[in-house]
Amino acid sequence: MSDLKYERSGHVPVIDMNKSDEELSVEFYEALTTVGFACICNSGIWELAKDYGRKANSFFHLPYEEKKKYSKPNSYDCHYGWLANGRVQLEETAPAPDYKEVFHTNRITEGDRTLAPPIIDSEESRKLRAKFEEQASRILYLLGVAMKLKDPYQMVKAHSFTEKKNPSNQSVVWYPKVDKSLLVPGQLRCGEHSDFGSLTLLYSDAPGLQVMSRELGEYVDAGFIEGGIYVNIGDMLQMWSGDVLIATKHRVLLPEAKFLDKERVSVAFFGHADDEALLETLDGSNKYPPITARQYLRRRFSATYGTEQ
């Protein structure tokens, strides 16, 4: 049974994952080389993410001292942990940090109660991650087909999602009710940014996402589809593709005044290449010098989270 409730999602192309690989490779290539975003339906992700997001949301209502036990360490090698409101600033020139809290998990946190509580690291979270990984791998393969790579699985092979050597993370993002007395003029729930890694898959329970339109040169609403999961290219994959695939800037606005008392929850899968994967431009152009995924991500994480070099 289809989980698609609407036919389009604002500025972002909608792609039905029930289509053939031949059709999908064309549609993903078109969307991710122009808009940089797609909204996929019939992916098997939405209901899992919705259920998990509702349950994981309760963590963010715990007392500060309880949440603090799981704070993200200031180290590149720790792609996990809780980030308090005010600790993340994705837009470097923003007047204030993002108005949100985040909990990152990865393969290292699974089953370790000192790193993640059971409400975050649960059976539901693992089922969801498996589905995220499945669809991310499929999309990377489809892009390999569309780009006519000698081995269409080249990008898939560089993403060992099920192994601890891969730094990909699944993140619950909680946007609390907005206290206007705490706001700084110009502050957003999530500042303008492009993602760091290869491929992001995103569930949200409410509108608010905006993407930069390359045609208009301004931000436009991404739209909101019940049943839709957003997919976007990250900076690493843009570089690796020789700028064929596009990492589009995006942001999350504060809600309208009448909705300031409403929370918002997202669950994202940030797919990264394996640490030691050597990224050489896929088209053989040598547009960028070779670099390992680990080296590339260290630079980006340091700038955003103040992590060690």
**Token representation of residue 58:** 């309760």
pLDDT at 306: 57
**Token representation of residue 122:** 């649960």
Inter-residue contact 228 to 4 (CB < 8 Å): yes
Separation between Cα atoms, residue 99 and residue 260, nearest integer Å? 12
**Token representation of residue 136:** 């991310």
pLDDT at 87: 87
Distance of alpha carbon 162 from its chain centroid, rounded? 17
In a 3-state reduction of DSSP, which class is residue 283? coil
Question: For the chain, how big is the Rg over CA atoms in Å?
Answer: 18
Inter-residue contact 103 to 61 (CB < 8 Å): no
pLDDT tens per residue across all 309 residues of the chain: 344 443 445 689 999 999 999 999 999 999 999 999 999 999 999 999 999 999 999 999 999 999 999 998 877 667 789 999 988 888 888 888 999 999 999 988 888 889 999 999 999 999 999 999 999 999 999 999 999 999 999 999 999 999 988 999 999 999 999 998 888 898 999 999 999 999 999 999 999 999 999 989 999 999 888 999 999 999 999 999 999 999 999 999 998 888 899 999 999 999 999 999 999 999 888 999 999 999 998 877 766 655 543
**Token representation of residue 253:** 């606005």
Separation between Cα atoms, residue 306 and residue 309, nearest integer Å? 9
DSSP 235-267: HHHHHHTTSSS----EEEPPPPGGGTT--EEEE
Separation between Cα atoms, residue 111 and residue 121, nearest integer Å? 7
Angle, vertex CA 24, rays to CA 23 and CA 29, nearest 5: 110
pTM of the model: 0.93
pLDDT at 309: 37
Helix then strand then coil, % of the chain, to nearest 5:
30, 20, 50
**Token representation of residue 121:** 């690291």
Q: Are strands 218-221 and 291-292 parallel, antiparallel or unpaired?
A: unpaired
Separation between Cα atoms, residue 15 and residue 12, nearest integer Å? 10
Nearest CA among 248, 243, 247, 246 for reference residue 282: 243
